[in-house]
Amino acid sequence: MASSFLSLAEPDTAPTGAPPANDIVRHHRARTVTTQDHPEWLRTRRQIRRAAARLIGERGVLRATPRAIVRAAGLPGITLSECYPTREALLADIMSRHLDGLTCWVIAARDAAGQEGAAVQMEAMIGAFLASALAERNEHRLLLQATDLLTPRAQAHVRLRCNGLAALFGEALAETVPQASGPAVKLASLTLMSALSCAVLWFDPDGSVAVSGYARMLVGMAVEGARGSVLRRGRG
């Protein structure tokens, strides 16, 4: 089956306790059912995605050969090309599903906290992003390190999805700091996304700082950044 950036049945893993997401999940469930939607086929592809993300995290992209990926998935009787036409198509599918999962949980957290104020919404969205990304740390590391290996079209899809996530945070930040300028909000939300993505690589959810506390700190930083814009005069 050809890899598609938007071909998501369900996120591979997700944090517990969050409500179901809305429009994005319904959109992805509206796919045409094919013979390759068989549960066994989907399970095989899921095993390959997880094994590939884990193996690439351990050995690097160049040493994660198609044969090594299949072996790590515990599927010695098949070849990678039976599930994905190329290794790049596999990487694109891993990244797209990971980003779709992040988006689902961020939207769900935003909607669940909708009556509690914009700042609380932001905290919930950051917490959902971090919890979901930590549940797929290998996939997130792959997203940060291997996007350049994708085709130009797939890279464009990844950038589009990342920009969509940043826009969600930007909308919440604009409501939290209504007096901030549009360019200042955009800069602060992109900076927030960068900080969040890097934090996934080192953050310990069982450490001295709870996810909720870290989320609260990041909200404060984003709010102050939007209020005290560092944009050069005349360039906003």
DSSP-derived secondary structure for 105-143? HHHHHHHHTTTS-HHHHHHHHHHHHHHHHHHTHHHHHHH
Does 177 reside within a domain? yes
Handedness of CA 23, 96, 98, 106 (dihedral sign): negative
- The rounded distance, in Å, linking the Cα atoms of 126 and 165 is 11
Are residues 158 and 122 part of one domain? Answer: yes
234 — alpha (psi -120 to 50), left (phi > 0) or beta? Answer: left
- CATH number at 140 reads 1.10.357.10
Give the domain extent around 101. 87-229
Are residues 95 and 59 part of one domain? Answer: no
| Whether the model pTM is above 0.75 | yes
> Of the candidates 40, 66, 84, which is a domain's last residue?
84
Are residues 74 and 142 part of one domain? Answer: no
Are residues 53 and 141 part of one domain? Answer: no
Q: Quick: pLDDT tens for 1-45.
A: 333 323 333 345 444 444 444 444 344 444 433 445 678 878 888
Q: Quick: pLDDT tens for 68-78.
A: 999 899 987 88
The count of structural domains within the chain is: 2
> Of the candidates 45, 66, 84, which is a domain's last residue?
84
Q: Quick: pLDDT tens for 204-219.
A: 989 999 999 999 999 9
Are residues 115 and 46 part of one domain? Answer: no
Are residues 127 and 47 part of one domain? Answer: no
Does 147 reside within a domain? yes
Does 46 reside within a domain? yes
Q: Quick: pLDDT tens for 133-147.
A: 999 999 999 999 889
Are residues 96 and 73 part of one domain? Answer: no
